Chain A
Amino acid sequence: MTYSTHDVDETALPLPIVQAARTTAQEFASQQPTPAKAAQVRLNTLAVWVVNDYLQLMGIATNLTAGDSWNPLIRLCADVADLDVTDVGRLECRPVQSQTQPCSIPPDVWQDRIGYVVVYVDESLQEAKILGSTEMPSAAIALHHLRSPEDLIDHLAAQRTTVAQIDRPTIRLSDWIQGIVDAGWQTVDALLNPAQPEFAFRGLDTTAQSSSSAGTQRAKLLHFGRQSDDSLPEAQREVTIALLLDISPVADRNQPDERIIRLQVHPINQPYLPPNLQLTVLDATGIVFLDAQSRDADNYIQLEFSGEPEELFTVQVTFEGDRVTETFVI
Chain B
Amino acid sequence: MNELESQLRLLVTEACKHPPGSPHRQKNLTRIIRLTSSKLWRENVPYYQDALQQTWVYFCQNICERSTGERYDPNRSTVITWLNYYLRRRLQDFYIDTQKQQSRTASTRVITSRSGEPEDQLDPIDNLPATPAAPPILDDVRTWVEADADGELRRVHVDGHPHVNCQTLILRRLPPETGWKELAAEFGLAVSTLSSFYQRQCLPRLRKFGASQGYI
* CB-based contact B215/A14 at 8 Å: no
| Nearest-CB residue, chain B, relative to A107 | B195
Q: Which of B175, B198, B209 contacts A33 (CB 8 A)?
A: B175
How far is the CB of A110 from the nearest CB of chain B, in Å? Answer: 6
B34 within 8 A of A: yes
User: B26, B37, B57: which has the most chain A beta carbons within 10 Å?
Assistant: B26
- Given known pairs A19-B49, A32-B175, A73-B210, the reply for A14 and B34 (CB within 8 Å) is yes
* Interface residue from A57, A58, A73, A149 paired with B137 (Cβ < 8 Å): A73
Residue A2 CB within 8 A of the other chain: no
Among listed A150-158, A172-180, A260-268, A315-323, interface-contacting one: A150-158
Complexed CA–CA distance, A58 and B30 (Å): 8
Contacts of B23 in A (CB 8 A): 153-154, 157
| A73-B137, A73-B141, A149-B30 known; A59 vs B60 contact (CB < 8 Å) | yes
Are A58 and B60 also in contact (CB < 8 A) when A16-B53, A17-B49, A72-B216 are? yes
**A/B pair count, beta carbons within 8 Å:** 133
Identify the interface centre among B38, B196, B206: most chain A CB within 10 Å of its CB: B206
Q: Given the complex of chains A and B, what is the CA–CA distance between A152 and B153 in angstroms?
A: 38
| The residue from B47, B60, B202, B207 contacting A57, defined by CB atoms under 8 A apart | B60
CB of A31 within 8 A of CB of B137, answer: yes
Does chain A have a CB within 8 A of B91?
no
Q: Is B134 in the interface zone, CB < 8 Å from A?
A: yes
Which residues of B162-216 have CB atoms within 8 Å of chain A's CB atoms?
170, 173-176, 180, 191-192, 194-196, 198-200, 202-203, 206-207, 209-210, 213, 215-216
Smallest beta-carbon distance A250→chain B, Å? 12
A73 touches B53 (CB 8 A): no
> By the criterion CB–CB under 8 Å, are A13 and B141 in contact?
no
Digitize A3-41: 1 where CB-to-B-CB distance is under 8 Å, 0 elsewhere: 000000001111111111000000000111110110000
CB within 8 Å of A: which of B132-163?
134, 137-138, 141, 155-156
The answer on a CB contact under 8 Å between A77 and B203 is yes
Q: Are B215 and A72 in contact, CB atoms less than 8 angstroms apart? A: yes
Determine if A74 and B210 form an interchain contact, defined as CB atoms under 8 angstroms apart: yes
Chain A residues with Cβ below 8 Å from B192 are 107, 110
B100 in the interface (beta carbon within 8 A): no
Report yes or no: B60 in contact with A111, Cβ–Cβ below 8 A.
no
Quick one: which of A18, A36, A59 contacts B49, CB cutoff 8 A? A18
Give the distance in Å from the alpha carbon of A78 to the alpha carbon of B170 in the complex. 10
Inter-chain contact A107/B207, CB cutoff 8 Å: no
**Interface positions of A from 51 to 70, Cβ below 8 Å from B:** 53, 56-60, 68
* Chain B interface residue number, banded: 35 or more
Q: Is A277 an interface position by the 8 A CB rule?
A: no
A108 touches B176 (CB 8 A): no
Bound-state Cα–Cα, A16 to B175, Å: 31
**Nearest-CB distance from A283 to chain B (Å)?**
11
A106 touches B215 (CB 8 A): no
- Decide: A16 and B49 in contact? CB cutoff 8 A: yes
Tell me the bound Cα distance from A125 to B155 in angstroms. Answer: 44
A270 within 8 A of partner (CB): no
Chain B contacts for A33, CB-based, 8 A:
138, 175-176
Q: Which residues of B contact A153 (CB under 8 A)?
A: 23, 26-27, 30
A12 to B20, CA, bound (A): 23
Q: A76-B141, A78-B203, A153-B27 are in contact. Are A59 and B21 (CB under 8 A)?
A: yes
Q: Looking at B33, B56, B175, B192, which has the most chain A CB atoms within 10 Å of its CB?
A: B175
Among A37, A60, A77, A149, the residue within 8 A (CB) of B170 is A77
The distance from the CB of B86 to the nearest CB of chain A, in whole angstroms, is 14
Closest to B52 in A: A16
Nearest B-chain residue to A76, judged by Cβ: B137
Interface residues of A (CB under 8 A from B): 11-20, 30-34, 36-37, 53, 56-60, 68, 71-74, 76-78, 106-112, 126-127, 149-150, 153-154, 157, 254
Q: What are 9 of the A-B contact pairs (CB < 8 Å)?
A: A31-B134, A72-B137, A74-B207, A76-B174, A76-B175, A109-B199, A111-B200, A149-B30, A154-B23
Q: A68-B203, A106-B180 are in contact. List 16 more A-B contacts (CB 8 A).
A: A16-B52, A37-B175, A57-B29, A57-B33, A58-B26, A72-B137, A76-B137, A76-B141, A77-B170, A77-B202, A77-B206, A107-B194, A107-B195, A110-B192, A150-B30, A153-B26
Complex A-B, nearest 7 residue pairs according to Cβ-Cβ distance, in ascending order: A107-B195, A73-B210, A16-B49, A16-B52, A31-B134, A37-B175, A150-B27
